[in-house]
Structure 1
């Protein structure tokens, strides 16, 4: 009996070590992922700053402004289009050419544009349906000349899932982990299951039968980092499993995204 108890204790200890090792590996994978996303955000900030400096020389319309916008668009494969925005919140110049039809439209009713126009600071929006008719995120960067006069803004519209997918696929390759990214309002910005992108964690019918997911979702929305578990479908199946999760936060211009890494419990 004593030997059996000893063996049971050793097995339990071994399982505990394995669990700790997996948690450590998950945490380090999450750290690498958030670091790379923040690097991409830094690239966006540098590109917008450079474009703003160029546009202050060229003006907000014309061939030279269009060339500056094309250069800005080429800095990220996730970019949908780039535009100059007037002081009144209307689109002046836009590139690439396929989106020329939105020139002249006002976007002054969009919250991120309103904030930029009022406070003259860079702003990143939540994901929304844009005037280009795509689900995307808009970054607005103010144009302020050497005399301190506000002239308008340069805008970059990009798809979060296109930015995130190569980073996340590289991070989880060869592991049992998966990652999803959500904004604090519940909008799914990235998921391995592409049809989940754009759904709202708190309101979409898909998620309602899973109270533990909704509970941890509220924690994720409220807390910049943490860990917990929840029940949901195993990827690409209808099998319900328990998932162990750790999350952290990345942000650009004070707009936060929660990055959630998980593994199926017992796998």
Structure 2
């Protein structure tokens, strides 16, 4: 009982911290302030989920702050004509420092209001400065909306999946483009998921609101759809639960599926809540075998 109360206390403190912090991502109501559950069962499970919600929101907010810092420098100093190479080189060094300082970050890029890539670190053969990125819907949308944005998951050319935070760059009142920080949601969530599993036995899952899996203990599930997925034909409870999850901010559900890493079918119970940032939402779940 004392352990459960300690977990609940930590969760409440985490939620209050997130509620009181300044918000860079453009979310009107920070995640930790909005949590609610449908009943009073499984208090340790709910408390663990509340703490996870605060941790994940803080990680995403940190990415937005990194993008904001790079964007502030780019707006004041970047030379679009390339005449001041020292200032442009310094921006790249700042971007490189962001990559080195955060294990979740894959790339940092400066994309112009015309959709042309100005700078990127680290550089690769797959994408180069001067490339047009207007084939990406999120780039077109960002240059239209000009507000902080968290993208949906997308597949990388080199394999795997990533998402990105976008932050607008202004020079005085003139919109110049945006900073893009790509990151791995799987890497971001896995550290917390492994810790929660070790401490409580609960597993973590995460969905986009279109049902695409952001994180699952089974790495092969990342990036796959929940809806219209033949793998779930024999498990209709999963689809029914997912339909509820993507529509509602928080709640609980039960379904049957394989116990992780086995072929044994078990009944599972989950609670979910939402991390809202950059005009997007992640549904995060704590799951246990019953």
> TM-score per shorter chain, which class?
0.7 to 0.9
* 2:67 counterpart residue number: 48
Answer with 1 or 2: which has the greater Rg: 1
In structure 2, what is the equivalent of residue 89 of structure 1? 115
Q: Work out the CA distance in 1 between the residues paired with 2:49 and 2:40.
A: 14
Deviates more, 1:167-176 or 1:120-129: 167-176
Q: Which moved more, 1:39-48 or 1:227-236?
A: 39-48
Q: Paired residue for 1:247?
A: 272
**CA distance in 2 between partners of 1:47 and 1:28 (Å):** 29
Decide whether aligned partners of structure 1 residues 171 and 119 sit closer, same or farther in structure 2, where only a CA change above 3 A counts: same
SS at match of 1:98: coil
Shift of 1:185: 0.9
Deviation at 1:173, TM superposition (A): 1.6
Which residues in structure 2 correspond to 1:51-70 (within 5 Å)?
Answer: 51-59=70-78, 62-70=88-96
1:110 corresponds in structure 2 to 136
Alignment deviations for residues 12-34 of structure 1 (CA, whole Å, 9 cap, x no partner): xxxxxxxx997111001101111
Q: Offset at 1:92?
A: 1.4
Whole-Å separation in 2 of the counterparts to 1:240 and 1:39? 35
1:259 is paired with a residue whose SS is strand
In structure 2, which of residues 104, 114, 132 is the aligned counterpart of residue 78 of structure 1?
A: 104
* Secondary structure, aligned partner of 2:42: helix
CA-to-aligned-CA distance 1:38-86 (integer Å, 9 cap, x gap): 1112211211111111222331673122112112223421111111101
TM-score norm. by structure 2 comes to 0.79
Quick one: which of 32, 40, 43 aligns to 2:51?
Answer: 32
Q: Distance in 2 between matches of 1:221 and 1:98?
A: 36
Tell me which moved more, 93-102 or 209-218. 93-102
Higher relative contact order (CA 8 A, sep 6+): 2
Question: Is 1:218 aligned with 2:243?
Answer: yes
Q: Secondary structure at the match of 1:202?
A: coil
**1:188–1:201 CA contact under 8 A, matched in 2:** yes
Decide which of 143, 161, 166 is 1:140's aligned counterpart.
Answer: 166
- Tell me, yes or no, if the aligned pair for 1:112 and 1:140 is still in contact at 8 Å: no
Q: 2:64 touches 2:166 (CA, 8 Å); kept in 1?
A: no
Please, which moves more after superposition, 156-165 or 123-132? 123-132
Q: Say which SS state the counterpart of residue 209 (structure 1) adopts.
A: coil
**Hey, what does 1:184 align to over in structure 2?**
209
Matching residue of 2:261: 236
Paired position in structure 1 for 2:18:
none
RMSD: 1.9
For structure 1, which runs of at least 5 residues remain unmatched after alignment?
1-19
Aligned partners of 1:107 and 1:75: how far apart in 2?
26
Q: Kindly indicate whether the alpha-carbon contact (under 8 Å) linking 2:251 and 2:273 is maintained by their aligned counterparts in 1.
A: yes
| 3-state SS, counterpart of residue 254 of structure 2 | strand
